[in-house]
Chain A
């Protein structure tokens, strides 16, 4: 992924997929331009949208997590990760607790990602998924 995308803002936009607001220049510069003109002009963001058309597993995106050069998206049909310009999807077949991923968190010390789903909690660690539910754990 280009660096410009990393300094941008990633939004989960409900049923419309995922929008990456990527500034064409540093964010501070955009704000300065708005002040000089004295009008509430829209910053010149470039929106890059992601849907099932370009790799997301589902357009219902509940959560987004930026993790270095990767972007994780919790969707209604699996967990997707955007890396090197491609989306990869993890599903229950890979060990994900449930298909609907509501929330994501990054353990900054280990790099592990935790996914809260509608049917349990999953830890994704270098591609391996371990799942904890009320049935199999405390």
Chain B
């Protein structure tokens, strides 16, 4: 079924994405859809050719790979790939380049000699990273929506099996000797309600295509790249360490996010979480990480703070050995091993070191540039501008605002909780009304037009209020946006399209189970022949194309800690992706909304259904 849905989704993706993207842009601007020449490059990831002469740039906004002369920055070749590419890597022999296209569910295979696309393969749901094993026989693809690693035949692209990874599997790194593959994930693994988040680094033996270990990352939610030293003895993963169980008032009384690095491997002897921030200054959204060949330095990009952190690895290891206790939340620690912060462009993401470690290339996603750093001098020695629109549009400015850490002391920005403009899988205690009061689950922010009001209590009628006054008061606890910046931000948020639904066939037809579920969703009479009051029919509150009447109701899900049991009706789009559910995230799955939290039929009439019928209803909801 998954393969069928995959192929369907691939076909649908281009059409849906094109239509939705076009619609989102048009609604936001009332301007014509930009031509390819008008699209920003948005460089996300970088690779250097084995001889170091060519710099490969994954341009997510332009759906291209650009091949540059690494010395001069001159573009030598532009290769179109799939939509919203998120990761790429060379084959073991360097003759092929694999690109993971996250919105098409495909991997593009490029001949590096000719620059031609040789094949396009289906690869799970939302492929985000791709790596070939050393033998050149197997391709591993991290699937963000699939929460797995697809294992493909590297010659044919045939999927052989999938390996369970962390939730939101996204980034892969192969060790230097090819004996281990490390996978990270951007959403936390499920944990009991109101307990600290937990993530993992999934360790795979690529010679056997087996998961052999899972390094636990306690208190971590949002893990990005992982780097392994050339000798395989030192690993480093960058991540977010949120404090979501206490009121967000702690932004000004401590912190809500710490940005950390987990180091592991034989050089460390254990997994150790190392803070990157300072006592009164934070370095938000750590994304890319690289270790120099001699293991003397570790470099980390900070997408929210527009800089690169330089770590003296030997000092860091000495500090770890001298402090066997956990010090992840001791922000004074970084002074012992962080040796420089180098300012680069806007929203720095992927980075790559030259073979000798002398140069560091950094992709600045939101100003279409590459910063070249001298690692000896810790300064930018060259900035390569990528071709694209010269004018910075309102949409672009809004995206820059979204990804910048505006909060008090630069702790975090919108993208901390809406990772890659989605969600974070966490529940937050936002307001200073006491510990554990009014807990709210974070919601997806795609295709929001027609879903107003916002907040679970429906308190914000517009995005201007949601992103402006409310954000400034409860989140930033710092300076306000000026009117223009707020307008840009709202333009950007309103433009976010809904991603392709992987649970719905390309032609829109429902499977028999989904169709049975649709009938249940729309029914007006229960199985006993009794009319279901209109207020208790699914389609009454979850009405319209987006599944919301835009009104608040009490459906019996309020808790003693909630100030009110009235909750805004959430939209249903992409519902399958956004577990947990209900206003406070107490339902771990869609099923639990009714099997656990609807004992008195106040959240729709469901207790007359058999389990199979409830399963059908859930199958249908996943198509929304």
- Tell me the A residues contacting B by CB distance below 8 Å: 109-112, 123, 125-128, 130, 134-138
Contact = CB atoms under 8 A, between A and B. Distances in A.
Contacts of A126: 202-203, 211-214
21 contacts: A109-B160, A109-B209, A110-B162, A110-B164, A110-B210, A110-B211, A111-B211, A123-B164, A125-B211, A126-B202, A126-B213, A126-B214, A127-B214, A128-B189, A128-B200, A130-B164, A135-B595, A136-B588, A136-B592, A136-B595, A138-B618
A137 B213 contact: no
Contacts of A123: 164
Contact of A134 (B163, B208, B611): B611
A135 B592 contact: yes
For chain B, give the interface size range: 20 to 34
Nearest to B595: A135
Interface in B207-223: 208-214
B591 A136 contact: yes
Nearest to B589: A136
Contacts, number: 49
The 7 residue pairs across chains A and B that have the minimum distance between CB atoms: A126-B211, A135-B595, A138-B615, A111-B210, A136-B589, A109-B161, A125-B164
B211 A135 contact: no
A112 B212 CA distance: 10
Interface of B: 160-164, 189, 200, 202-203, 208-214, 588-589, 591-592, 595-596, 611, 615, 618-619
Interface of A is mostly: loop
Given A110-B210, A126-B212, A126-B214, A137 B589 contact: yes
A134 B160 CA distance: 29
A83 to B, nearest CB: 13
A73 to B, nearest CB: 21
A133 B592 CA distance: 10
Nearest to B204: A126
B311 to A, nearest CB: 29
A7 B544 CA distance: 63
Contacts of A136: 588-589, 591-592, 595
Contacts of B591: 135-138
A109 B148 CA distance: 14
Nearest to B202: A126
A16 B481 CA distance: 71
Given A135-B592, A136-B591, A127 B611 contact: no
Contacts of A127: 213-214
A128 B167 CA distance: 12
Contacts of B213: 126-127
B28 to A, nearest CB: 38
The winner among A109, A123, A130, A136 for most chain B CB atoms within 10 A is A136
B168 to A, nearest CB: 15
Nearest to B166: A128
Nearest to A112: B164
B164 A135 contact: no
B513 to A, nearest CB: 9
A135 B202 CA distance: 28
The winner among B164, B202, B212, B618 for most chain A CB atoms within 10 A is B164
B245 to A, nearest CB: 20
A138 B162 CA distance: 20
Given A111-B211, A128-B214, 15 more contacts: A110-B161, A110-B162, A110-B209, A125-B211, A125-B214, A126-B203, A127-B213, A127-B214, A134-B595, A135-B591, A135-B595, A136-B588, A136-B591, A137-B589, A137-B591
A81 B450 CA distance: 53
A7 B79 CA distance: 55
A74 to B, nearest CB: 21
Contacts of B595: 134-136
Nearest to A134: B611
A110 B592 contact: no
Nearest to B588: A136
Nearest to B618: A138
A111 B588 CA distance: 26
A123 B596 CA distance: 22
Nearest to B596: A135
The winner among B161, B210, B618 for most chain A CB atoms within 10 A is B210
The winner among A109, A130, A138 for most chain B CB atoms within 10 A is A138
A125 B214 CA distance: 9
A131 to B, nearest CB: 10
B193 to A, nearest CB: 12
A127 to B, nearest CB: 6
Contacts of B210: 110-111
Nearest to B615: A138
Contacts of B619: 138
Nearest to B211: A126
A6 B202 CA distance: 28
B153 to A, nearest CB: 14
Contacts of B592: 135-136
A82 to B, nearest CB: 18
A125 B203 CA distance: 11
A136 B619 CA distance: 14
A135 B592 CA distance: 6
A111 B619 CA distance: 29
Contacts of A109: 160-161, 209
A110 B592 CA distance: 29
A130 B211 CA distance: 15
B342 to A, nearest CB: 38
Nearest to B163: A110
Contacts of B202: 126
